[in-house]
Amino acid sequence: MFARVTTYELEEGRASESIDVFEPAIGRIRDLDGFVDAYFLVERDGRHAVTMTLWETLDTMERSRVSASSARTEAARDAGAEVTSTYELEVGIHSGASDAGRAMLGGRSRM
**Dihedral of the CA atoms 9, 67, 75, 82 (nearest 10)?**
20
The whole-number pLDDT of residue 100 equals 54
The whole-number pLDDT of residue 111 equals 38
Residue type, 80: G
Q: How far apart, in whole angstroms, are the C-alpha atoms of residue 75 and residue 95?
A: 29
49 close to 8: Cβ distance less than 8 angstroms: yes
- The verdict on pTM exceeding 0.85 is no
Q: Chunked in runs of 10, what are the mean pLDDT values of the chain (111 residues)? A: 97 87 92 96 89 97 96 93 96 81 48 38
7 torsion bin: left (phi>0), alpha (psi -120 to 50), beta (else): beta
